[in-house]
A and B are shown apart, each in its own frame.
Chain A
Amino acid sequence: MSRKAYITLGDRITAATDLVSQSSWWGQIQTWVEVLLTRLGLRGQGLVVAIPYLWLLLFFLIPFAFVLKISLAEAVIARPPYTALIEWTEDAFIDIKLNIANYLFLLQDDLYWKAYLNSVKVALISTAVCLFIGYPMAYSMARANPAWRNVLLMLVILPFWTSFLLRVYAWIGILKNNGVINNILLAFGIIDEPIVMMQTNFAVYVGIVYSYLPFMILPLYANLERLDNTLLEAAADLGCRPIKAFFSITLPLSIPGIIAGSLLVFIPAVGEFVIPALLGGPDTLMIGRVLWDEFFANRDWPVASAVAIAILLLLIIPIMVFQRFQAKEAEAGTA
């Protein structure tokens, strides 16, 4: 019976799949799936490529559509706390209510764009600090004795073995008024009263730089480690001193690593919520915290969703810049 079914259905089914299907129910399901996929124009290679797209569809695009939908609704005191986007009316019409008031609200209330600008500022400064600390570290790792390199690499990755949250909490213990730093300084008589570090912007920077430094170091290291040492020898041979050789050879060739590392720090830092919430003060205005407050304190899901969409759109720009850069690199085919 199944034989007939797919002979009429599929025109591109091969004899090989005939044999696989045989008689068992499993074989039949396989055949049907294959027929379906074939009808959709998916075979072999196409299927392999389809898997990541399917993943993106399921775990990115569909949730994104939900958030987008909520952002266009109105807040109500109900469960769920927003109005439905599509409604069947009494007389069998579909009623679509698109509410862009949430977006307009974002523009009207300066809290949101101030929070966004502040997040970008914090992320930019943190990225720059990560770069200045991370570059020399990555460079010395790449120049280290090969036997040492893996040990150093392990040390960079080691913090990931502990929970991110715990590590941020640990910084509270270090930075607070009777914490490690203040106690040491007091004990040595360097200061008379504790320096207030907790719940300041400084603590937020410390937290972000500390947490995201490995994301800067790893791509930079990968890039610098591949750098051909004979290029530096050639530069020296042509009369270039080591410091100048660094700026005219090493640095330009590590730009892809710098960009990759910077984006890996910048993008999550913009939306960072945990670090400002735990280490920052009440005046540390960051978009991640605003988002949290809208969702859980105000229970205004539509506005919170609008904030989320706005962050996403504003973050897509640097990602696209990076993508374009990578495409250009690939085209140039760095040999």
Chain B
Amino acid sequence: MAEAHEVDKRLDPWNDPHATPYIRIQNVTKKFGDFTAVNNVSLDIYKNELFCLLGGSGCGKSTLLRMLAGFETPTVGTIYIDDVDMGSIAPYDRPVNMMFQSYALFPHMTVENNIAFGLKQDKEPAAEITKRVADMLELVQLTPFAKRKPHQLSGGQRQRVALARALVKKPKVLLLDEPLGALDKKLREETQFELVNIQEETGVTFIVVTHDQSEAMTLSSRIGVMNEGQIVQTGTPTEIYEYPNSRFVADFIGSVNIFEGRIIEDDPDHVRIESDEAGCPLYIDHGVTASPGARVWVAVRPEKIQLSRDKPNGEDNCTIGTIEEIAYMGDLSIYRVELDTGKRVRVTMPNLVRGTSDRYTWDERIHLSWQASNAVVLMT
């Protein structure tokens, strides 16, 4: 059977069989009473990565992060950081620092003292502490606020103090729990890029927990999608978006149209699927490992579907429906089309030209089509 896909495989460490992972999470399970928060997770994270753990609330991503920090001990399994087993190491002795979702700034200390706190624990010389705190304040652009108390700062400033405090000790790994969760949308977008820049500048390995898929897409080198305590897929943002491995991932990242069907032809270079929902034969230009007749799902992203008034050539990946709803978003428009089979499909089209009178309209009969390379076959 064929490789599912062949994306740009540069010299990324996760594609290099000789690279040693910096953080190794091996068969880690965490149970709280009867509830399994993290279920047999194994994960390798490499040096200098910005790895995102992405998932809905209660999927176990925060628990996994807290186990890395040492606030929770795995029920089963081992965590290695830089080849050291973390099992018996207390949080205050770990080479990791954490940026808390609530920031957890010490309310009775100034910004300066908050940042210096970690260095003081290591009994660094005073001059060294002063210098490193000053450098850190500059990095996060808070030098004028050094003498303020946390409650005298705005949300965005507090977030930067929390980041500075966690970074100043030059940890091997920085753990960030929803680092942008408490910021408003506009600030969040600006801060995303700032965070990536700081990561590149400092060279610290970042592990970010987030429930926001767009945040994960912009920030990370790789994403681990979690569901019900398990990692369901690991990959670069492109891999996760373009080649999801399950309906859960496809649906969780962005929006997607999923057609249920049966395999009727499975060759190394293509697969043909019969689907009552789609109302047309589905042809995908990659093979899958499945026996003919198996029930599968075909995922097509809304922006990969073309709309046209005239019937496109060919029978495959080409169906017809009626426009039911149109949402104008400015940069793009979202069309909801009811296929003749009764299935509703979401299509997005960029508004490339301003104010065309020739736009598709409500109740219009429309043909939908997509390239054979733009759909993914999902087995689960």
Interface residues of A, Cβ cutoff 8 Å to B: 228, 230-231, 233-241, 244, 248-249, 252-253, 332-335
Known: A228-B102, A238-B92, A335-B107. 13 other contacts (CB 8 A): A233-B98, A233-B104, A234-B165, A236-B70, A238-B97, A238-B165, A238-B166, A239-B92, A239-B118, A239-B122, A241-B92, A334-B151, A335-B151
* Distance, CA A248 to CA B118, complexed state (A): 12
A236 and B108: CB pair below 8 A? no
Residues in A neighbouring B117, C-beta threshold 8 A: 235, 238, 240, 248
Residue from A231, A239, A244, A252 whose CB has the most chain B CB atoms within 10 Å: A239
- For residue B100, CB closer than 8 A to chain A, the reply is yes
State which of A238, A240, A244, A253 has its C-beta within 8 Å of the C-beta of B107: A253
* Cβ contact within 8 Å between A249 and B106: yes
B237 within 8 A of partner (CB): no
Report whether A238 and B118 are in contact in the complex, using a CB–CB cutoff of 8 Å.
yes
A237 in contact with B106 given A332-B149, A335-B151 (CB within 8 Å): no
Cβ distance B113 to chain A, nearest Cβ, rounded Å? 10
B30 at the interface (CB under 8 A from A): no
Contact with A along B84-110 (1 / 0, CB 8 A): 000000111110111010101111100
Q: Is the pair B107, A237 in contact by a Cβ cutoff of 8 Å? A: no
Which of B97, B102, B150 is close to A237, meaning CB atoms less than 8 Å apart?
A: B97
Residue of chain B at shortest CB distance from A232: B104
Q: Is B169 an interface residue (CB 8 A)?
A: yes
Cβ contact within 8 Å between A237 and B91? yes
Contacts of A237 in B (CB 8 A): 69-70, 91-92, 94, 96-98, 166
A234 contact set on B, CB distance < 8 A: 98, 100, 104-106, 165
Q: Is the CB of B151 within 8 A of A231?
A: no
Render B345-364 as a binary contact track against A, CB cut-off 8 A, 1 for contact. 00000000000000000000
Which residue of B has the minimal Cβ distance to A237? B98
- Nearest to A236 among chain B residues (CB) is B91
Give the chain B neighbours of A334 by CB distance below 8 A. 107, 151
Question: Cβ of B91 and Cβ of A230 under 8 Å apart?
Answer: no
CA distance A239 to B70 in the complex (A): 12
CA distance A235 to B169 in the complex (A): 13
Q: Which residues of A contact B193 (CB under 8 A)?
A: none
A236 x B150 contact (CB < 8 A): no
Q: How far is the CA of A233 from the CA of B117 in the complex (A)?
A: 13
**Min CB gap A328→B, angstroms:** 13
Query: A236 contacts which chain B residues (CB < 8 A)?
Result: 70-71, 90-92
The reply to whether the CB of B121 lies closer than 8 angstroms to some CB of chain A is: yes
Q: Which of A233, A239, A252, A253 is B121 in contact with, Cβ under 8 Å?
A: A239
User: Are B92 and A233 in contact (CB-based, < 8 A)?
Assistant: no
- Chain B residues lying within 8 Å of A244, measured Cβ to Cβ, are 121
Q: A221 CB to closest chain B CB, in angstroms?
A: 19
Q: Which residues of A contact B151 (CB under 8 A)?
A: 332-335
Measured CB to CB, the closest approach of chain B to A326, in angstroms, equals: 16
Report which residue of A228, A230, A252, A253 has the largest number of chain B beta carbons within 10 angstroms of its beta carbon: A230
The listed residue (A230, A240, A252) touching B100 by CB distance below 8 A is: A230
Residues on A with C-beta less than 8 A from B69 are 233, 237
